[in-house]
Amino acid sequence: MVFKTIFIESETKLNIDFYVKSIDDDKYINCNLEKLLPDWLEPPQTIIFIFFQCKFCLDGSNLEEEQIEKNRLLSKFSQLGSSFYNACKNQRIISEIICPKDGFPQYSRKGTDIFSIQAIVTRHLPQFKKENNRCGLIHPDWDKAVYPCLMLSLAEEEQITPIIWNISHKMGLIRKKTN
């Protein structure tokens, strides 16, 4: 089951989509856990996808502006991810934030493999498409104006969702709609 919540960033009025999904079996993560998250003894129970709507498409048409936008969104995600990680840590929930720039965990020891966020997104959320022969992701509503991010947790979806709502509220995000 996938739980989706949409927030609006107060300063830009752009959307941030959160998808929280229980994962019973992700063969790639399970088979490569030691290479991806060497400190973890068991695979994640919940995967959290965060999609930041960009000011414009990340399609390679203006690399300088796109890099500025990616840096802005990486900063937003780093703030959100840090808040999520610390909130989980306070509740003794093991979690991890995956850097969208390099695919490595931020708090655990780095493994020999990276998380391919686009591949994980398309595997778990088939409404998203990966651009052929490119690293871009296509959002079902925003096309290529999307910056995908990933967080993982050993907790169940029911424990994670309130943490996300709480940190989103503290960050000034406005909840738009829940499915």
pLDDT in tens, 149-171: 999 999 999 999 999 999 998 99
Q: How far apart are CA 150 and CA 36, in angstroms?
A: 13
Residue that wins the pLDDT comparison between 147 and 25: 147
Q: How far apart are CA 53 and CA 51, in angstroms?
A: 6
For the chain, what percent of residues have pLDDT higher than 70?
A: 96
User: What's the predicted TM-score (pTM) here?
Assistant: 0.93
pLDDT tens digits for range 36-71? 999 999 999 999 999 999 999 888 888 999 999 999
User: Does pLDDT of 142 surpass 90?
Assistant: yes
User: Does pLDDT of 148 surpass 60?
Assistant: yes
Q: What is the pLDDT, as a whole number, of residue 178?
A: 52
Residue that wins the pLDDT comparison between 2 and 129: 129
121 Cβ contact list (under 8 Å, min separation 6): 49, 128, 130, 137, 148, 150
Q: How far apart are CA 33 and CA 107, in angstroms?
A: 15
For the chain, what percent of residues have pLDDT higher than 90?
A: 77
Q: What is the pLDDT, as a whole number, of residue 176?
A: 83
- Residue 177's pLDDT band (cuts 50, 70, 90): low
Q: What is the pLDDT, as a whole number, of residue 65?
A: 93
Task: Classify 153 as helix, strand or coil.
Answer: strand
Q: State mean pLDDT over 126-140.
A: 83
Q: What is the pLDDT, as a whole number, of residue 75?
A: 95
At 94, the amino acid letter reads I
Which burial class, exposed, middle or buried, applies to 92 when counting CB atoms under 10 A from its CB (0-12, 13-18, 19+)?
A: exposed
**CA dist 28 → 3, 5, 114, 119, 148 (Å):** 22, 26, 11, 10, 19
Chain mean pLDDT for the chain: 92
Q: State mean pLDDT over 125-136.
A: 80
